[in-house]
Structure 1
Amino acid sequence: MDARALIGVGVIAPSPPLRLDIDADALVANWRWFAGASSRAACGAAIKADAYGLGARAVMRRLADAGCRDFFVATWGEAAALGAYPDDLSLSVLHGLREDDLPAALAGTARPVLNSPAMVARWKAAAGGRACDVMVDTGMNRLGLSPEEARSGLLDGLQIDTLLSHLACADEPGHPLNEQQLFTFRSIKAAVPARRYSLANSAGICLGQRYAFGLTRPGLGLYGGIPAPGAEGHVRRVVRPHAQVIQVRIVAQGATIGYGAAFTAPVAMRVAILNIGYADGYLRAFGDGRGHAIAGGVACPLLGRVSMDLIAVDVSAAPSVGDGDWLEIEYDLVTASIATGLTQYELLTMLGHRYQRRWI
């Protein structure tokens, strides 16, 4: 039989040669630290972008079990992907309410975050008094009503569960815009009634309790990123990528490795070819020795360029490594950010869909 005819008729696909080990205890510990730092405010969780690449449904379940009750996604497609969730959980859709989103918004329990006068009018006309959230722009100039629009009476008649804004420079504690946004948000809070008010993301929580209000919305910090000064030593690493060795080979002294012959072996070297590359979010910025794998505690430097699906690492100091072995890819977010010039957000969310995700 032609091999193509076997597809979809009971052939079991082999497991991927890539995996993400995700530490459930670290995830929960990080949320609990941010919850404690939020003081009397409730602590939610941003699970947009598939929980920054870790898997939104799995993250939501584990944080809900730990006590988190408020979750945030970007779009209605992300909300739908979560499937059913317990009635005592709250889900908000940050990007609001297009005309195309109305059927999904009216069919479920997730709340739209209304960002414009047009969204406000759309919800008033369609929702019959159902609760919503509202975003007010206090200085980021991204999404949200202006303070003047929020105070104008536009929101009269809405049942606002949470009034939100978003800090632009919370990762820089001394930036003057933080205090300006705090002042503006307080003035809006005094003018616009809502059940709760929310300003602080992960970095905003680190600015102190004045920024917490009634609800905080950590994201990056939950997943092992260090969002701002003050989180060091408290936030634990959550995700560790691993890749399988396809082949171990000896590269002769003077031979080159990879595209562009970018690396020349100074001596004969034992080299492992790993099944990971920029198609998996492990970008070329890690090439030329800026990245490494770990074999039994031994750092194995990356040699030459990162290819679409492959990298080469020096395993001369790890003689037990052989074909089929799994090596951890060093992926400390702060260290990798410094080495590559990429943000911690990019490093997390670019991890692709070819990984199997294993909760440990």
Structure 2
Amino acid sequence: MTQDPISSRLAPHVKHLSAGDAAIAGSLLTIDLGALEINYADLVEKSGEAECSAVIKADAYGTGLEEAAKTLWQAGCRTFFVAHPQEGARARSTLPDATLYALNGLVGDDTDATMSYYHTHRVRPVLGCYEEIDLWSRYCRSIGEALPCGLHFDTGMNRLGLSKKAAHKLSDAWTTQPPPFTPTLIMSHLACADDPHHPLNSTLLDRFRAIRALFPDIPASLANSAGVFLGPDYHFDLTRPGIALYGGLATSNRPNPMQTVVTLNSRVLSTRHVPKGQSVSYGASEVTKRDSRLAIINMGYADGYLRTGSSSDKRKGARVYIEGYEAPIIGRVTMDLTIIDVTDIPEDAVKRGSWVELFGPHMPIDEVAAIAGTIGYELLTSLGLRSLRRYL
């Protein structure tokens, strides 16, 4: 192949950058695995006598399933939860000896091939309806092996889960004839644990206690992240923290005690002076109220930074942190770019190439999410693939 003459002349003088080189990164997603480990240790302590598991669904809440799973295993975690069977297969490649549960139950066609997928990857489905119980029973009989699984009972979410009536029916039936599978966990889900004073918390606890009494020999689990903070009555045998592991706020109206795990930064591409009375970004939804200095950053909704964080003349949008100062978004967040108002920041502090923190230790993710009309969960799990990932 003939070498390009221009490339040939420049080659001795130019550093050739790879796609993973920070020098050409327009945005940087930093995942602090040390903070993840600290958070897990804190939740282990708060779980008391109960085993503390880890929920690693949705790519470990956007942090990267493999890296998070490996860190949590090294920290002592032995039981993990995913949502889908494919997530379980990914987790199994990193966690050969872990106990893995799939919260969404038997996802896929009602065929032996689907059941075999769970079996092959040793992912325990959490069965939440009679149809799933029948399917798992049929498959276990066909292979002559009582495979493990979880059982999900609905105590008030009205989402997934078997009813209280079903719990009594199964308990009575299994007294005389054990099931063809091995139930290794019974679980339910708290609907309002993020509000510690919500009356439904104690109601759901009482309902789960009644169901648990029907299966006294099977380990039980009720507490999600917020449930861990409700205290030992909610812990049972196994807690299932998710968002708190990754630094998100688990309970409302309280300071967040968890370490920051995820920080999203983006570069300033350029700055410009804009006179008073000029519209900014798509839709002309916001007009400058003064002579302004604006900075354009390399981040948009295609990167997972939500469009609902936009600003307009009618509502204030999200804020960012840059060079020791906070700055507001001005106008709409677009697919690839976001504009911030840096008028109140010294001019020499913000320039092309400056790094902006969209969320992280100085700009808590849950505060950004609240302004965008959502929760930290959505911001984390919406993170795009264009940011260069760096693991600490």
TM-score normalized with structure 1 length: 0.90
1:111 partner amino acid: R
Matches within 5 A, 1:121-140: 121-127=134-140, 128-140=145-157
**TM-aligned CA distance change 1:231 to 1:103, over 3 Å:** farther
What is the aligned partner in structure 2 of residue 8 from structure 1?
A: none
2:378 match: 346
Q: Which whole-Å CA distance do the structure 2 matches of 1:229 and 1:314 have between them? A: 30
Residue in 2 that maps onto 1:275: 298
RMSD: 2.3
Distance in 1 between residues matched to 2:83 and 2:256, nearest whole Å = 29
**Partner Cα distance (2:198, 2:134) in 1:** 35
Contact 1:163 1:194 (8 Å CA) reproduced: no
Structure-2 change in CA distance of 1:87 and 1:285 (3 Å):
closer
Residue equivalent to 1:321? 350
Partner of 2:321: 294
Name which of 314, 335, 360 aligns with 1:308. 335
CA contact (8 A) 1:276 1:311 kept: yes
Alignment check: 8 A CA contact 1:159 1:194 kept: no
Task: Check whether the contact 2:69–2:95 (CA below 8 A) recurs between aligned residues.
Answer: no
Cα contact 2:105–2:132 (8 A) shared by 1:
yes
- Once the two structures are TM-superposed, the CA of residue 218 in structure 1 deviates from its matched residue by 0.5
Verify the 8 A CA contact 1:160 1:194 in the aligned structure 2.
no
For residues 230 and 308 of structure 1, do their structure 2 counterparts lie closer, same or farther at Cα, with a shift above 3 Å needed? Answer: closer
How far the C-alpha of 1:325 sits from its partner, in A, is 3.0
Residue type matched to 2:105 in 1? Answer: G
Q: 1:245 and 2:268 equivalent?
A: yes
For 1:148, the equivalent position in structure 2 comes to 165
Could you report, residue by residue, the CA deviation over 1:311-359 in whole angstroms, capped at 9, with x for unpaired residues?
1112341423322332211451332233222122222222222222212
- Does structure 2 retain, via aligned residues, the 8 Å contact 1:54–1:357? no
Shift of 1:294: 2.0
Q: TM-score, normalised by structure 2?
A: 0.83
**Equivalence for 2:238:** 215
Report runs of 4+ in structure 1 exceeding 4 Å deviation: none
Following superposition, the deviation at residue 235 of structure 1 comes to 1.3
Give the distance between the partners of 1:91 and 1:273, measured in 2 at CA. Answer: 44
**Alignment deviations for residues 293-322 of structure 1 (CA, whole Å, 9 cap, x no partner):** 322211122111111111111234142332
**What amino acid is the match of 2:366?**
V
Are residues 1:26 and 2:49 paired? no
Judging changes above 3 Å, is the alpha-carbon distance between structure 1 residues 225 and 14 closer, same or farther for their aligned structure 2 residues? closer
Q: CA deviation at 1:194?
A: 4.4
Gaps of 5+ in 1: 4-10
**Per the alignment, in what secondary structure is the counterpart of residue 97 of structure 1?**
coil
Question: Can you list the C-alpha shifts for 1:32-61, whole angstroms capped at 9, x where unaligned?
Answer: 222111110000111111111111111111
1:167 is paired with a residue of what secondary structure?
A: coil
Larger radius of gyration: 2
Structure 2 unmatched ranges of 5 or more: 5-16
Counterparts of 1:118 and 1:194, CA distance in 2? 24
